[in-house]
């Protein structure tokens, strides 16, 4: 109770003394208030608010007064309470505080920096007022001029100033952009290099980088500094998990930039990451699991840049490449995942893919998938299938991968109910059978596969799966050119889906559909007749030929298909009923020579059979 009474007395005295400008009695009142704040900050702050003391403080913040550091300290203390921040702004404290930033007195600067930083913390009003008073520019200037001085007292001031800019701009894009335009990033990077022994300042810089790095516009500025070297050097010095995590949180957004990816690789980050993996792979503690995940994820992120990936691949002889490959057979799911994703990223050009298939990677991926048929980790399945799909792109790899049994392993995942796995499975099979007639024949006569494709062709909730199923169905027919495959597709009720696919918004899919339908008509028109009629094939072709926006090759393939179905009586009748001759004769004057030539042939065919 005595403390509260003393405080009330002191605040009353303070009101009187500040009116008389009696410095001594003001000082003792301020001491009493600081004591009360140290004892119970929230209660003392409420009292200050109730008694209207805040409005006295602007006059006590005179640059020459000996009380000034104490007054700024009091403001810093009361502004630790959320309910006091707006009142501090309303009492007009920001402009005099910002003026104090021009002081030469270290203690005044320190307490002023704290006061402004605390008022800005999570307070829109605080930030706005500091912005209007131009406080951030002055603080940024101080940081720049002080950054070379490694004196310990100076380090404390720098930490407070960095903290103030952090609170000022945290989660506010426009204020962060303002700091970036002021050139704060190069200054902070220099600080990190010169003051790496100052833990508090280093942490403040890292938090600031983490915030600013989220902004796209910051990446170019970061790329023009030596941030990569500084962060890697700092990372190598850290033993504690928390510190490493802090650095990771800055590295992840920065590594999204391709220029910085390469800088990080050249600065030796990869070796640090591989070390983390080695030390945490068998760890049971939560922090080991977290570090392993972060390090391996970051490794995969570095491989997304073409230059950084190629540097690490190093013609397939890179030690990093070999280490990452050893992750695939690991017993740790996180490493299996990262290893498979890394292979998918290395497999982004034909040269790398050919070399990797020769080195026997396919076998490792198949063994990994076999381990996940039963225990089914979806992310690992998805990553391993992605890697196989990419490896299957070069023509020379297809036959090798087929004879290694890739399609058999991939088919084990047909029962999967996970759209991402379904999508990659379809893409892998489509890549494998491209130009491979025997494989297309073998898969195309697999009625289980065709049934599943037809089912997925109706997966309206998953456009990707739907599109890939249609494309694989068409590819099985186009690459096998086999009557047995056509029969399997007809029996599996796949024809109608290819007719719908001919109306796709993607020209490549329209074309694939029309070529497959042409082969169906050529190889088993009798068997497909009912489905062609039921799916409205003739109407679809009429639409494609009448629409001026249809691409020339689609028009060409549509006319080929019209000629192919004329051998069927019901389809022939539909063609006559829709007056195709008018549409086709118009196309004789089409600017594309192939189209106009095919129009003449089609017109002759229609006339002869009418």
In tens, the pLDDT along 375-384 reads: 679 999 999 9
**Could you give phi then psi for residue 82, rounded to 5 degrees?**
-55, -40
Residue 434 CA to residue 290 CA, distance in Å, equals: 41
Integer angstrom CA distances of residue 180 from 139, 184, 194, 210? 14, 6, 21, 13
**Helix, strand, or coil (residue 278):** helix
CB 527, CB 486: distance < 8 Å: yes
Q: What residue ranges of the chain have pLDDT lower than 50? A: 1-2
pLDDT at 18: 64
User: Tell me, what's the pLDDT at 23?
Assistant: 64
pLDDT attached to residue 5:
60
Q: How far is CA 75 from CA 10, 39, 44, 80, 98, in A?
A: 16, 16, 12, 9, 13
125: exposed, middle or buried (Cβ count in 10 Å: 0-12, 13-18, 19+): middle
Where are the alpha helices (H) located in 392-462, listed in sequence order?
395-403, 406-411, 419-433, 437-444, 447-456
What pLDDT is attached to residue 1? Answer: 35
Residue 19, pLDDT score:
59
Q: Say if pTM beats, i.e. exceeds, 0.75.
A: yes
pLDDT at position 2: 45
Q: Among all chains, which residue has been given the structure tokens 């065709």? A: 450
Give the sign of the dihedral formed by CA 202, CA 205, CA 211, CA 217. Answer: negative
Residues 14 and 238: their CA atoms lie apart, in Å, by: 49
């Amino acid at each position: 109770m005595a403390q509260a009474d003393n405080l009330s007395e002191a605040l009353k005295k303070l009101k009187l003394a500040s009116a008389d400008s009696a410095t001594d009695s003001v000082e003792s009142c301020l001491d009493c208030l600081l004591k009360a704040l140290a004892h119970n900050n929230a209660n003392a702050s409420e009292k200050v608010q109730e008694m209207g003391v805040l409005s006295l403080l602007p006059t006590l913040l005179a640059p020459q007064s000996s009380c000034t550091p104490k007054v700024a300290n009091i403001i810093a203390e009361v502004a630790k309470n959320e309910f006091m921040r707006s009142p501090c702004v309303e009492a007009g404290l920001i402009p005099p505080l910002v003026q104090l930033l021009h002081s030469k007195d270290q203690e005044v600067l320190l307490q002023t920096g704290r006061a402004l930083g605390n008022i800005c913390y999570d307070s829109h009003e605080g930030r706005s007022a500091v912005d209007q008073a131009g406080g951030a520019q002055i603080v940024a200037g101080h940081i720049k001029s002080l950054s070379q001085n490694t004196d310990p007292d100076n380090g404390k001031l720098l930490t407070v100033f960095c903290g103030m800019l952090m609170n000022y701009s945290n989660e506010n894009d426009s204020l962060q952009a303002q700091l970036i335009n002021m050139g704060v990033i190069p200054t902070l990077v220099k600080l990190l290099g010169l003051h790496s022994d100052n833990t508090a300042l280093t942490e403040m810089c890292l938090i600031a980088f983490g915030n600013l790095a989220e902004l796209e516009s910051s990446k170019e500025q970061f790329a023009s500094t030596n941030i990569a070297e500084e962060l890697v050097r700092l990372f190598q010095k850290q033993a504690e998990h928390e510190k490493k995590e802090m650095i990771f949180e800055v590295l992840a957004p920065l590594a999204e930039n391709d220029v910085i990816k390469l800088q990080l690789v050249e600065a030796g980050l990869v070796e640090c990451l591989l070390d983390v993996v080695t030390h945490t792979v068998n760890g049971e503690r939560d922090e080991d699991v977290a570090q392993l995940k972060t390090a391996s994820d970051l490794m995969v992120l570095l491989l997304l840049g073409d230059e950084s990936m190629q540097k690490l691949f190093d013609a397939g002889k890179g030690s990093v490449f070999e280490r990452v490959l050893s992750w695939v057979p690991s017993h740790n799911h996180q490493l299996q995942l990262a290893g498979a994703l890394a292979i998918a990223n290395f497999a982004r050009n034909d040269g790398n893919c050919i070399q990797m298939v020769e080195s026997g990677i396919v076998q490792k991926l198949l063994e990994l998938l076999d381990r996940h048929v039963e225990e089914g980790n979806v992310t690992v399945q998805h990553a391993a299938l992605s890697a196989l799909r990419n490896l299957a792109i070069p023509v020379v790899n297809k036959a090798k991968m087929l004879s290694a049994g890739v399609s058999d392993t991939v088919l084990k995942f047909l029962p999967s109910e996970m759209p991402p796995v379904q999508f990659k499975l379809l893409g892998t099979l489509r890549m494998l059978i491209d130009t491979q007639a025997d494989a297309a024949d073998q898969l195309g006569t697999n009625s289980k596969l065709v049934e599943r494709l037809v089912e997925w062709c109706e997966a309206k909730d998953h456009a990707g799966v739907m599109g890939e199923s249609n494309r694989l169905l068409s590819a099985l027919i186009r690459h096998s050119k086999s009557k047995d495959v056509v029969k399997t597709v007809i029996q599996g009720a796949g024809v109608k889906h290819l007719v719908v696919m001919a109306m796709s918004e993607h020209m490549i899919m329209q074309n694939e559909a029309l070529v497959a339908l042409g082969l169906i008509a050529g190889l088993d028109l009798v068997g497909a007749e009912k489905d062609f009629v039921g799916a409205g094939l003739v109407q679809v072709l009429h639409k494609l030929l009448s629409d001026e926006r249809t691409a020339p090759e689609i028009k060409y393939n549509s006319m080929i298909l019209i000629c192919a179905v004329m051998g069927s009586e019901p389809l022939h009748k539909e063609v006559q009923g829709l007056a195709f001759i008018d549409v086709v004769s118009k196309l004789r004057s089409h600017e594309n020579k192939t189209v106009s030539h095919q129009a003449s042939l089609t017109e002759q065919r229609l006339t002869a059979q009418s």
